Amino acid sequence: MSQPGAATGAAADTETETAPGARAWYMVVVCMVLYVLSQLDRQIITMLIQPIRADLQISDTQFSFIQGLAFALFYGLMGIPIARLADSRSRPLIIVCGVAVWSIATAACGLARNFWQLFAARMAVGTGEAALSPATYSMIADAFPRTKLGLALGVYSLGAFIGSGLALFIGGIVIEWSIAIGPQTLPLMGIVKPWQLTMMIVGAPGLLLATVFLLTVRDPARKGGVQDFSVAAVKAYVATHRRAFLAHYLGFSFLALAFFALLFWAPAYLFRNYGLSPKEAGTYLGSIVLVANSAGVLSSGMLSDYLTRHGHVDAALRSAIVGGLGVMLPAALFSSASGLWHTLALLAVAMYFASFPLATSAVALQVMAPNRMRAQVTSLFYLALNIIGITGGATSVALCTDYLFRDEQLVGYSMSLVAIVGALAGILLLAGGLKYYRATAQRLM
């Protein structure tokens, strides 16, 4: 059976190894800023766990559905048709529409009065954010040569950790300020509690940034001609190379499960076990995310580029495996550490290695498929990532805490258990798929 795009694969990705220009790097930086905003809007809720649980009278497991499932479900499902558009239509316009949707939806979270209203608003946040990364990955792959792709995607991926760090920093400050001024009565909205006001504040800047993006970023020329691939052709291509795609989709998703288990529940762990205030927890965790995770994602991108230059076609997967190996020991130890500083030090090491797969998962996808199906295969990855990584990372920890350990003070043990299992599964899946990934990537070189 002939492979979709096989005839054009080599031509599609033949590229001149020239240094990318200022416009290409500007695009990366602006997309990174939008990624920062998306992570801020996505992660701020982790700092609000205590007041939301108290106000809405919900358990850790119910909160995990708001934190993970509500967002991830529509992020994953809506990413597929949006990515289809990104493979053939204006990618900047698609991104701008997504930013507008998630910003309005984040502010709407502040209007929620019960579990289901907040669940619905979080689904809308996921729908908007589904537009950003597949379209951005596709644009960056068209603007940079393959040997520079790891660093470019690493810089973009910094937005995840800058945004998460700011969510922790800003979240702690805004929450304490909101608590200090107390509930407010706003026109048409009635009484707004501090956690609701926080959601409204962080959702506000998105429309301004969307306008700047629309006016200043151009869609780069697509490499490999103008051939469009039908949905059936994409499915056939993925099916033909299913061992490589399954190893990638599942391996990176389980590594993400380890990462999100730590990221989502670290604030609750510090609140419950060390009695920290939101501002204190936000300062400590924000510093870890900004420094350790940012260093990790840049390190993995540079390691991937280094291995690529030395002839390793599977460099992206190798780099991710290094991260998975590195995260296991500190993730196992932090929940039993004696004292706050030992705990934070171990969390920092775990977070550094847990961030390795973020950039390398994107690098790997860009060399696994012809140009005009890149966004679509990326959206399929994000479906798996959201179901296994985000939903699994949030809910599996909550389930362990509620039903295995039966004590919310033991959330740290739940985090350690889930992170170890996720990292080990990811390592084994990626290692088992190396030869299949190499075969797929070499067909397009």
Taking only the tens place, the pLDDT of each residue in 382-397 is: 888 888 998 899 899 9
Instruction: State residue 84's pLDDT score.
Output: 78
Q: Give Cβ neighbours of residue 377 (< 8 Å, ≥ 6 apart).
A: 234, 237, 238, 245, 365, 368, 369
Q: What pLDDT is recorded for position 18? A: 55
Q: How far apart are CA 364 and CA 362, in angstroms?
A: 5
pLDDT greater at residue 19 or residue 361: 361
Kindly state the tokens that stand for 267. Answer: 């604030």
Q: Is residue 122 very low, low, confident or very high in pLDDT (cuts 50, 70, 90)?
A: very high
Which band of pLDDT confidence, cut at 50, 70 and 90, is reported for residue 370? confident
CA within 13 Å, CB half, 432: 14
The pLDDT of residue 229 is 67
- Indicate the residue type of 193: K
Residue 223, both tokens: 């490499």
pLDDT of residue 419: 97
* Confidence band, pLDDT 50/70/90 cuts, at residue 413: very high
Average pLDDT over residues 356-368: 82
CA distance 217 to 83: 19
- Binned at pLDDT 50, 70 and 90, residue 86 comes out as confident
Q: pLDDT band for 59, please (50, 70, 90 cuts).
A: confident
3-state class (DSSP) for residue 348 = helix
Q: What is the pLDDT of residue 17?
A: 53
Instruction: Decide if pLDDT at 10 tops 80.
Output: no
Mean pLDDT is highest, among 118-132, 135-149, 227-241, for 118-132
Reading the block at residue 288, the tokens are 């870890």
Q: Give the residue-averaged pLDDT of 38-50.
A: 83
| Mean of per-residue pLDDT scores for the chain | 85
Cβ(13)–Cβ(371) below 8 Å:
yes
Query: Is the model more confident about 377 or about 7?
Result: 377
7 pLDDT higher than 90: no
Given a cut of 60, is residue 225 above it in pLDDT? no
Residue 341 CA to residue 273 CA, distance in Å, equals 13
Mean pLDDT of 119-135: 90
Average pLDDT over residues 121-149: 86
Determine the topology of domain 13-443 in CATH: Growth Hormone; Chain: A; (1.20.1250)
Inform me whether the pLDDT recorded for 14 exceeds 50: no
Q: For residue 176, what are the contacts with CB-CB under 8 A and spacing of at least 6?
A: 277, 278, 279
The per-residue pLDDT for 290 is 87
Beta strands in 145-219 (DSSP E): 184-186, 190-192
Alpha helices per DSSP H over 57-114:
60-64, 70-86, 91-109
